[in-house]
């Protein structure tokens, strides 16, 4: 038996199947989709079997064929259908096939021969305790990195750099100093998970006494003991304890040295939902609109036909109930279902709705799970223990074999596009997968993407079937939206960030004990540092981007390359001391709220407050339990939440996204405003929405205020048509980067030239039915990252196959240069973010 294997080297020359002989004893376990270990050059690599045959490949000397060494899993992690899908992705998104195959399996299967980095505690302490602190390297990330590593025990360099972006050189120097050590990981990555846990040593009385005996300068150690006592001496996860008390692990280590606590590795339960009881729910009797949609979907399911539905249902119209009952039907037909929701909406509330209906038949996959948790959930799919998967983007690759239905909720969300290679869009992959499996796809949204709506029209070829729901399931009307012109407020002397109307409305809700959602529509949520005297803004020396202030470590960091420096007390340009950080927008709104409404309870949700695992859930639960009056945040408060007592939604500034140089800015603004407005008055209490804006006349804002999707669509489509943007054409973004500008400019020009020539050649060879326009090259919106300059060519095209061939061939011509002079070219097909 012979196998064709795609090996784990994501580069172009190796982007093809290689032939291997399969030894007799392995024949039974090698199939298309198997993960194998094969020799490759001097190395041993992981690979995926993409084909098997009984005949030796033609024209190859059999004696030269190398053999498959090992099969890595009893059950192949991929199905033949997924292997085929990977090939398609490689063609469509111009990525190596291995990249597509890798993205389909959980991270736990990816890096088996990884080395891991561990902290050498002894070396670290010796250095820490060195009497000359001025000899210690000053990078502020060091200590944080050491703490993190200590708490985790070990980490791959990859995981470490993901947590501390851009710390590659720091990592290197710490390895050189011997503080960190690289070890070959011997144990299986998928073994049980453990965590460092703090065990109090002694009785309550003993520890109490020990605590009071500690001298005052050991206040932190006292705090830790108090925290343990407060929890009834329950052993606590080290990381959680540190976080709760706000100390570093050295404090706990000191207690350990005194024999008051003990640190031990303890096995951790990996089922992320193991501790929760999901109340079972029964199907609700459908409303007329819901039944109509349900019947349409079921008709297709029963026929086992492939069809794509676009379900446009206003917020609160009960789309989820339709999903649930359609899935029920799908299961009754003996088939499986995948539900995609945006990462941010994958709240416990959402999980409850699915687990409540299907119980243990559901696996949940999202990126907030650890490698191990993800792996365990995923294995339940492989073992056929579940028939429903709910997850974020990559759940689209769930290895089902009898797929009947794929649901994509909030289908317009840009997070369905992966921004790193393979740069795939889950919607397109879903449709492709469903086509092959004869499955139905339901794309749901209150504000569908223009691309999807267009596909339901005659002009768009009626590829999708439109289903609509205009009324809310519980009969409540959509809440009235009031636009407040902030220019008028300013004219009338109101300099606060709250208009008179919003101020009054908040006051009212507080009085009535109802709840409020406040949205700060801002994408550049980062906190930057500016000099008030001269306007200097602290920027990264390696990237054209402002540094972000991190409150916890009091450092300034670059989010692109990880460069870090200490907080400044003086402006480096004018020496003024009026240099300070400008809090995230949400932080400032919070301060103002507390000032204006004494006693108000605010939950703030933004990147800062939700970086911790589980924090997102924690805040939402608190809000649901009415432990706060206001839920204040960025995009994440706009999506999918269903709280009965929210009767007021306020938008602080609606226009901020409008000004971004992205042709989807209008669409994003409309979607966000509509989504957030939909959080108000969903149950019995009537809702109200107040939107503050500087451009109330803008069509996106006006249409969102009138809940008028049709009006928005008409204007937006006109713009797109006039400018040749999607859905009237499609885009490919080609970004080139190089260390030297003149060289980069020359290469970029040459690439643009080559693209045009290839397009011409295609036309001359008789290809038609395509368009292909090359724009640029121009400097990319962020013109420099990690000391590399960036240029961009944008291609506007119609006709998938021809366009990707032209781009592939053109880029291939620069391969030698890419290898020789550190030129990078990255291709993004159908980009979602143009920034
Ligand atoms: P959407 O996802 O369209 O915004 P949801 O599915 O969250 O809407 O439904 C909004 C509310 O209406 C939820 O509280 C849900 O339980 C309720 N609901 C949905 N369908 C029905 C129904 N047929 N009968 C009663 N209540 C329903
Ligand atoms: Zn200054
Ligand atoms: Zn940088």
pLDDT tens digit string along 635-684?
888 876 788 889 999 998 887 777 667 788 899 999 989 988 888 877 77
Has residue 188 got a pLDDT over 50?
no
Nearest to 610 by CA among 241, 272, 344, 242: 344
pLDDT attached to residue 684: 78
Instruction: Name the closest-CA residue to atom 24, ligand 1.
Output: 284
Give the integer Cα–Cα distance in Å for 83 and 100.
9
- Given the DSSP bridges, would you call strands 307-313 and 388-391 parallel, antiparallel or unpaired? unpaired
Task: State the average pLDDT for the chain.
Answer: 86
Which residue carries 């339990």 as its tokens?
Answer: 625
Q: Report the separation in Å between the CA atom of 278 and the middle of ligand 1, taken as the mean of its atom positions.
A: 18
- The binding site consists of 531, 534, 540, 543, 558, 561, 571, 574
The closest residue, in CA terms, to atom 15 on ligand 1 is 318
SS3 label, residue 211: helix
What ligand is nearest to the CA atom of residue 579?
2
Name the DSSP class of 416.
Answer: G
> Residue 43: its pLDDT value, please?
76
Over residues 241-290, the pLDDT tens digits come to 888 888 888 899 899 988 899 888 765 545 556 556 667 788 999 999 99
| Residue nearest to ligand 1 atom 6, measured at CA | 318
Q: Is the pLDDT of residue 132 over 70?
A: no
pLDDT score, position 115: 65
CA 521 / ligand 2 centre spacing (Å): 29
Which of 315, 474, 687 most suits a substitution to test ligand 1, by most atoms within 8 Å of the C-beta? 474
Quote the ligand 2 centre to 653 CA distance (angstroms): 29
- Kindly identify the ligand whose nearest atom is closest to the C-alpha of 289: 1
C-alpha–C-alpha distance, residues 380 and 400, integer Å? 11
CA distance linking residue 100 with residue 423, whole number of Å: 9
Please give the pLDDT value at position 362.
Answer: 94
> Whole-angstrom Cα distance, residue 207 to residue 204?
5
Q: Using the atom order of ligand 1, give the atom closest to the CA of residue 409.
A: 2
Q: Which of 291, 268, 300 is nearest to 192 (CA)?
A: 268
Of residues 585 and 768, more confidently modeled: 768
Any bridge partners for residue 793, and if so which?
734
CA of 615 to the centre of ligand 1 (A): 26
Span from the CA of 475 to the centroid of ligand 1 (angstroms): 10
pLDDT score recorded for residue 517: 93
Residue-wise pLDDT for 419-474, tens only, equals 888 999 999 999 999 999 999 999 999 999 999 999 999 998 999 999 999 998 88
Residue of 289, 315, 318 best suited for mutating to test ligand 1, as the one with most atoms within 8 Å of CB: 318
CA-CA-CA-CA torsion sign (30, 35, 40, 44): negative
Q: Is residue 131 pLDDT above 80, yes or no? A: no
- Residue 663: how many CA atoms within 13 Å on its side-chain side? 21
* Confidence (pLDDT) at 183: 61
Instruction: Say yes or no to pLDDT of 519 above 80.
Output: yes
Rounded to the nearest angstrom, the distance between the alpha carbon of 539 and the centre of ligand 2 is 13
* ∠ Cα 17 19 24 (to 5°): 135
CA of 504 to the centre of ligand 3 (A): 44
Q: What is the pLDDT of residues 72-127, one digit of tens each?
A: 777 788 999 999 999 999 999 999 999 999 999 887 776 555 567 888 887 888 77
Res 221: pLDDT: 92
Report the pLDDT value the prediction gives residue 449, as an integer from 0 to 100: 95
pLDDT tens digits for 133-162? 555 666 778 888 888 888 887 788 778 888
CA of 625 from ligand 1 middle (Å) equals 20
Report the atom number in ligand 1 closest to the C-alpha of 313.
3
Give the annotated binding-site residues for Zn(2+): 531, 534, 540, 543, 558, 561, 571, 574
Tell me the pLDDT band of 185, cut-offs 50, 70 and 90: very low
Strand order in the sheet with 481-485: 481-485, 688-693, 646-651, 515-519, 630-633, 602-605
Over 90: is that where the pLDDT of 168 sits? no
The ligand whose atoms approach the alpha carbon of 470 most closely is 1
Q: Give, using CA atoms, the residue closest to atom 10 of ligand 1.
A: 316
Q: What is the structure's pLDDT at 682?
A: 77
CA distance 68 to 19: 9
Neighbours of ion ligand 3 (CB under 5 A): 540, 542-543, 558, 560-561, 563
Calpha distance 162→159 (Å, rounded): 5
- Choosing from 310, 320, 674 the residue with most ligand 1 atoms within 8 A of its CB, the one to mutate for a pocket test is 320
The Cα–Cα gap between 344 and 754 comes to 41
Higher pLDDT, 353 or 72: 353
DSSP string, 787-804: TEEEEEEEEEEE-HHHHH
Task: Ligand 1, residue 315: give the atom nearest the CA.
Answer: 4
pTM: 0.77
- Interhelix angle 348-358/615-624, rounded to 10 degrees, is 80
Ligand nearest to the CA of 643: 1
pLDDT tens-digit profile of 309-351? 999 999 889 999 999 999 999 999 999 999 999 987 887 778 8
Least Cα distance to 281 among 340, 362, 336, 346 occurs for 362
* In the predicted structure, residue 824 carries a pLDDT above the cut 60: yes
Ligand nearest the Cα atom of residue 677: 1
For the stretch 670-726, pLDDT in tens is 998 998 888 887 777 888 999 998 889 999 999 999 999 999 999 999 999 988 899
Bridge partners for 566 per DSSP: 555
CA distances from 141 to 100, 151, 170, 663 (A): 34, 15, 9, 38
Atom of ligand 1 nearest to the CA of 353: 16
Of the residues 287, 326, 473, 644, which should be mutated to test ligand 1's pocket, given the most ligand atoms within 8 Å of the CB? 473
Measured in angstroms, how far is the CA atom of residue 543 from the centroid of ligand 3? 4
Residue 241 has which token pair?
Answer: 């304890």
Give tens-digit pLDDT for 547-598.
Answer: 877 776 788 888 777 788 888 888 888 888 888 776 557 778 888 899 999 9
**Selection from 824, 772, 774, 770 nearest residue 794 by Cα:** 774
Angle, helices 80-93 vs 426-437, to 10°: value is: 140
pLDDT in tens, 23-63: 988 888 899 999 888 888 877 788 999 999 998 888 877 78
Q: Cα of 90 to ligand 3 centre, how many Å?
A: 31
Name all residues whose Cβ lies below 6 A of ligand 1: 284-287, 290, 313, 315-321, 473-474, 642, 682
The pLDDT value given to residue 524:
43
pLDDT of residue 268: 58
Evaluate whether 108 touches 375 at the Cβ level (below 8 Å).
Answer: yes
Closest atom of ligand 1 to CA, residue 320:
6
- 538 alpha carbon – ligand 3 mean position (Å): 11
Q: Cis peptide leading into 777, omega within 30 of 0?
A: yes
Helical (H) or strand (E) element with 483: strand 481-485
Element (H or E) spanning 144, and its range? helix 141-152
Q: What is the SS3 assignment for 134?
A: helix
Residue having the nearest C-alpha atom to atom 19 of ligand 1: 318
Query: Omega into 93 within 30° of 0, i.e. cis?
Result: no
Q: What DSSP element (H or E) covers 378? A: helix 371-382
């Amino acid at each position: 038996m012979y196998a064709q294997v795609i090996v784990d080297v994501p580069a172009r020359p190796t982007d093809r199947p290689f032939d291997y002989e399969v030894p007799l004893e392995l024949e039974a376990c090698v199939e298309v989709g198997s993960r194998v270990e094969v020799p490759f050059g001097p190395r041993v690599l992981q690979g995926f079997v993409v084909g098997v045959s009984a005949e030796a490949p033609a024209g190859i000397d059999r004696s030269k064929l190398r053999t498959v060494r090992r099969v890595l899993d009893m059950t192949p992690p991929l199905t033949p259908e997924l292997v085929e899908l990977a090939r398609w992705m490689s063609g469509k998104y111009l990525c190596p096939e291995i990249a597509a195959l890798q993205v389909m399996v959980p991270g736990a299967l990816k890096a088996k021969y990884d080395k891991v980095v561990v902290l050498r505690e002894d070396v670290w302490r010796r250095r820490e305790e060195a009497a000359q602190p001025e000899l210690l390297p000053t990078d502020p990330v060091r200590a944080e990195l050491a703490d993190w590593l200590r708490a985790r025990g070990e980490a791959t360099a990859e995981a470490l750099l993901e947590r501390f972006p851009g710390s590659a050189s720091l990592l290197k120097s710490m390895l050189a100093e011997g503080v960190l050590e690289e070890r070959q990981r011997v144990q299986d990555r998928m073994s049980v998970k453990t965590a460092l846990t703090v065990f109090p040593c002694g009785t309550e009385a003993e520890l109490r006494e020990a605590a009071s005996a500690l001298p005052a300068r050991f206040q932190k150690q006292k705090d830790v003991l108090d925290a343990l006592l407060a929890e009834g001496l329950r052993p606590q996860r080290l990381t959680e304890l540190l976080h709760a008390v706000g100390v570093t692990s050295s404090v706990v280590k000191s207690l350990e040295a005194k024999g008051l606590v003990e640190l031990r590795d303890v096995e951790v339960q990996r089922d992320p939902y193991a501790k929760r009881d999901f109340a079972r729910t029964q199907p609700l009797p459908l409303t007329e609109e819901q039944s109509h949609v349900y019947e349409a979907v079921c008709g297709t399911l029963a026929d086992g036909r492939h069809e794509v539905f676009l379900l446009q249902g206003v917020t609160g119209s009960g789309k989820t109930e339709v999903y649930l009952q359609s899935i029920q039907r799908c299961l009754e037909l003996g088939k499986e279902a995948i539900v995609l929701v945006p990462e941010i909406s994958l709240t416990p509330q959402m999980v409850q709705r699915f687990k409540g209906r299907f119980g243990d038949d559901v696996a949940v996959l999202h990126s907030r799970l650890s490698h191990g948790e993800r792996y365990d959930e995923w294995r339940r799919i492989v073992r056929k223990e579940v028939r429903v998967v709910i997850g974020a983007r990559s759940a689209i690759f769930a290895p089902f074999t009898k797929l009947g239905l794929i649901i994509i909720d909030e289908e317009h969300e840009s997070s369905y596009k992966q921004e790193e290679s393979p740069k795939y869009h889950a919607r397109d992959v879903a449709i492709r997968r469903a086509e092959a499996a004869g499955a139905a796809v339901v794309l749901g949204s209150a504000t569908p993407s223009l691309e999807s709506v267009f596909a339901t029209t005659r002009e768009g070829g009626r590829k999708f079937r439109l289903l609509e729901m205009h009324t809310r399931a519980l009969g409540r009307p959509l809440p009235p939206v009031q636009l407040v012109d902030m220019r008028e407020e300013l004219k009338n002397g109101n300099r606060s960030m709250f208009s008179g109307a919003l101020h009054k409305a908040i006051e009212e809700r507080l009085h009535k004990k109802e709840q409020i959602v406040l949205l700060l529509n801002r994408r550049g949520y980062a906190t930057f540092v500016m000099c008030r005297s001269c306007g200097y803004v602290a920027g990264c020396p390696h990237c054209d981007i402002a540094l972000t202030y991190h409150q916890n470590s009091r450092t300034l960091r670059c989010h692109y390359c990880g460069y870090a420096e200490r907080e400044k007390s003086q402006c480096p340009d004018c020496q003024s001391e009026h240099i300070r950080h400008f809090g995230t927008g949400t932080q400032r709104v919070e301060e103002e709220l507390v000032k204006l409404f004494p006693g108000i309870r605010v939950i703030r949700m933004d990147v800062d407050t939700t970086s911790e695992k589980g924090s997102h859930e924690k805040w939402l639960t608190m809000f649901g339990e009415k432990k706060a009056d206001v839920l204040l945040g960025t995009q994440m408060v706009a999506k999918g939440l269903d709280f009965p007592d929210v009767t007021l939604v306020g938008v602080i500034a609606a226009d901020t996204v409008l000004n971004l140089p992205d042709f989807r800015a209008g669409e994003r603004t409309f979607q966000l405003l509509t989504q957030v407005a939909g959080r108000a008055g969903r149950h019995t209490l009537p809702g109200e929405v107040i939107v503050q804006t500087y451009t109330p006349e803008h069509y996106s804002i006006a249409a969102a205020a009138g809940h008028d999707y049709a009006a928005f669509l008409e204007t937006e489509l006109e713009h797109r048509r006039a400018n040749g943007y999607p859905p009237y054409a499609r885009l490919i973004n080609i970004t080139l980067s190089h260390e030297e500008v003149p060289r980069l400019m020359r290469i970029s020009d040459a690439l643009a030239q080559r693209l045009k020539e290839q397009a011409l050649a295609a036309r001359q060879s008789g290809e038609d039915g395509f368009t292909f326009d090359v724009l640029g090259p121009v400097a990319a919106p962020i013109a420099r990252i990690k000391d590399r300059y960036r240029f961009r060519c944008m291609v506007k095209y119609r006709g998938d196959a021809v366009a990707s061939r032209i781009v592939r061939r053109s880029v291939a011509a620069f391969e030698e240069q890419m290898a020789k002079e550190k030129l990078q070219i990255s291709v993004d097909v159908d980009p979602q973010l143009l920034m």
